[in-house]
Amino acid sequence: MEKGEKLLELNKELAANQELPLFGSANLVFGEGSVDASVLFIGEAPGFHEDKLSRPFVGQAGKLLDKLLSSINWPRESVYITNIVKRRPPGNRDPLPDEIEAYKPYLEKQIKILSPKLIATLGRFSMNYFLPDAKISRDHGVAQYAGEHLIMPFYHPAAALRSTAVLKELELDFKKLPDILLNPPPRKNDHPPKSAEENKQSSLF
């Protein structure tokens, strides 16, 4: 099965699961974008506009995300965008730990199908999902591995709409994205390439 078909199956499976929290109280916002995207953006949970349109990041925060993508010449359609929790919590409250846990198997499968080179987290919920000890004020804009995933934490665009200082940081962090994708940091246990001398020595044994 191709990636697109697999995602469609997953979407159906998710829509049919009546046990999930927020089922029946909000629309499903599965995610959208290129199935061949190198970068997967993950936000927190849909808001009012996302719920209405069943699409991620289409409100004010989404407009800012589009602008940030444009600033690095990445069309929105070239990336994939989703959320940890796939339905809007009432009144836009923060997602609850139970909700994050309940939607986790679907996010895991979505990531596996898409197999992006880099996961860009938007806001602290998404960041802490992968990096539980990270702090957004300290760790934003620096890519690091969480297991097999390369994670680049970003401030949430909604936070940037409330603070010009945060907006500046977010703009600067976005500028780093293309280069990080081309030159990802080495994994901690990656061995540096052996020197010619080391190669010669090991061939003696």
With respect to ligand URA, which residue has the nearer C-beta, 45 or 170? 45
With respect to ligand URA, which residue has the nearer C-beta, 26 or 150? 26
Minimal distance, residue 138 CB to ligand URA, in Å:
21
Minimal distance, residue 60 CB to ligand URA, in Å:
9
Minimal distance, residue 56 CB to ligand URA, in Å:
4
Structure tokens at 175: 């500028």
With respect to ligand URA, which residue has the nearer C-beta, 83 or 110? 83
Minimal distance, residue 106 CB to ligand URA, in Å:
15
With respect to ligand URA, which residue has the nearer C-beta, 141 or 157? 157
Nearest CA to 122 out of 70, 67, 54, 174 is that of: 174
- Which residues of the shown chain bind ligand URA in the complex (CB under 6 A)? 43-47, 50, 56-57, 61, 83, 158
Where in 44-188 does DSSP place strands (E)? 80-83, 118-122, 144-146, 149-154
Give residue number: closest CB to ligand URA.
43
Calculate the alpha carbon distances from 157 to 21, 41, 96, 112, 126 in Å: 25, 12, 20, 25, 13
Q: How far apart are CA 130 and CA 13, in angstroms?
A: 24
CB atoms within 10 A of CB 10: 18
